[in-house]
Amino acid sequence: MNLIKARFLYFATLTLTLLLFASCDGDEEGANPGNTDDSIILGFSQIGAESAWRTYNSLSVKEAAEEAGIQLLFENAEQKQAKQIKAIRSFIVYQVDVIAFVPIVADGWDNVLTEAKDAGIPVLVTDRKINTADETLYAGFIGTDSIREGREAALFLQKKFASSERANPVRIVEISGTEGASCVIGRAEGFREIIESDGSFEIVYSFSGDFLKSKGYEIMHSILDKISDIDVLYSHNDGMTLGAIEAMKERGIRPGSDIVIVTIDAEQAAIDALRRGEVNCVIECNPRTGPVIMDLARKLAEGETIRRLIHVEEEVFTEWDDLDAIEPRGY
Ligand code: GZL
């Protein structure tokens, strides 16, 4: 490619990027478009708004950026990895100080992260993890320990059925989240590590509901069309659980009694269902990572190294706990 053409392409890309960020949704909350001082510029690629958890996670990031005086370029990928890659490339052209992103799936990031590395821009992976052979492609990870979440779900069921007369094996249906997402792989792995070595349980059905309430509803109806003797629903997020509960009720099935339910996230609606006895165990997945992300971004922008792996604090709420003591969830 000759020099004139290369220069034209560079300036065209730069112009497009500046236009893109002039229209990006950062001017809703959290960005400081009028910001002219030398504050840190953080490019953040979020996967979308598929659940109450995700929406609250985005709010946490935007509010924390505002609080920290960090200029936030916030891009919503609408559940498409290609849009995340495009956003990261535009952050590179814009020459942000730091890039942070939630990888919608674990694979397929090496090329674009190599471009960020070549541009000298540090990358922070948040919420979900990536698979890469080159650990130098990102500075660190902050988010949930999904394998532990899966194990906690299994440990609750072992306790719940320890002295139960229920059928042996206890028949489990799993509604999982977005295929290929690290949190889904971890929640399935941690759960099976215990359930499959126990001998009293059987996973009779597993299907992806993509973390969507509507799919949780559809899948539960579809499962109940096929099989009736289900003892447990293990659902990878509250949105899908709430959809599945609607389907159960429409068939006269008592959620939390006829079918024991374990769910992950701990949004308010799930805690309310726990209090009504419609859910038996809620495992927290903490969406409030904004402040830590900003602290890590500042450190990276100032050339400091950060811890490679930071798992956020998370609780487990069960039917045996003092449910009135649970703080309002905020989302
Ligand atoms: C988990 C997060 C998941 C939540 C879902 O860390 O990525 O994505 O459990 C959300 O509610 O959609």
Per-residue model confidence (pLDDT) at position 11: 57
Structure confidence at residue 15 as a pLDDT band (50, 70, 90): low
Cβ < 6 A, ligand 1 pocket: 50-51, 53-54, 127-128, 143-144, 183, 211, 237, 239, 264-265, 285
pTM above 0.75, yes or no: yes
Those residues with Cβ within 8 angstroms of residue 92's Cβ, 6 or more apart along the chain or in another chain? 99, 115, 116, 119, 121
Structure confidence at residue 109 as a pLDDT band (50, 70, 90): very high
Reported as a single tens digit per residue, the pLDDT across 24-38 is 444 333 343 444 557
The tokens 């236009």 sit on which residue?
19
pLDDT at residue 7 above 80?
no
80-87 long-range contacts, CB within 8 A, separation 24+: 80/104, 81/105, 81/108, 84/45, 84/47, 85/109, 85/111, 85/112, 87/43, 87/45
Per-residue model confidence (pLDDT) at position 228: 85
Reported as a single tens digit per residue, the pLDDT across 181-192 is 999 999 999 999
Per-residue model confidence (pLDDT) at position 32: 38
Reported as a single tens digit per residue, the pLDDT across 314-329 is 999 999 999 999 999 9
Per-residue model confidence (pLDDT) at position 28: 37
pLDDT at residue 20 above 60?
no
* Nearest atom in ligand 1 to 265's CA: 9
Reported as a single tens digit per residue, the pLDDT across 41-95 is 999 999 999 999 999 999 999 999 999 999 999 999 999 999 999 999 999 999 9
Q: Please tell me the distance between residue 314's alpha carbon and the centre of ligand 1 in angstroms.
A: 13
Q: Please tell me the distance between residue 57's alpha carbon and the centre of ligand 1 in angstroms.
A: 9
Reported as a single tens digit per residue, the pLDDT across 237-281 is 999 999 999 999 999 999 999 999 999 999 999 999 999 999 999
Q: Please tell me the distance between residue 148's alpha carbon and the centre of ligand 1 in angstroms.
A: 14
User: For residues 251 and 126, what is the distance between their CA atoms, to the nearest angstrom?
Assistant: 39
Structure confidence at residue 167 as a pLDDT band (50, 70, 90): low
Per-residue model confidence (pLDDT) at position 35: 44
Per-residue model confidence (pLDDT) at position 164: 76
Q: Please tell me the distance between residue 181's alpha carbon and the centre of ligand 1 in angstroms.
A: 9
Per-residue model confidence (pLDDT) at position 193: 98
> Would you say 266 and 285 are in contact if contact means Cβ atoms under 8 Å apart?
yes
Mean pLDDT across 139-151: 97
Biggest alpha carbon–alpha carbon distance for the chain? 78
106-110 long-range contacts, CB within 8 A, separation 24+: 106/130, 106/131, 106/180, 106/181, 106/182, 106/185, 107/131, 107/180, 108/81, 109/85, 109/137, 110/134, 110/137
Distance of CA 152 to the CA centre of its chain: 17
Taken in order of first residue, the domains within the chain and their CATH numbers are: 37-143+287-313 (3.40.50.2300), 146-285 (3.40.50.2300)
Partner residues linked to 176 by β-bridges: 208
Per-residue model confidence (pLDDT) at position 165: 73
Reported as a single tens digit per residue, the pLDDT across 191-216 is 999 999 998 999 999 999 999 999 99
User: Whose alpha carbon is nearest atom 8 of ligand 1?
Assistant: 54
* Nearest atom in ligand 1 to 211's CA: 12
Per-residue model confidence (pLDDT) at position 26: 42
Per-residue model confidence (pLDDT) at position 13: 53
Mean pLDDT across 11-15: 55
Per-residue model confidence (pLDDT) at position 33: 44
Distance of CA 178 to the CA centre of its chain: 10
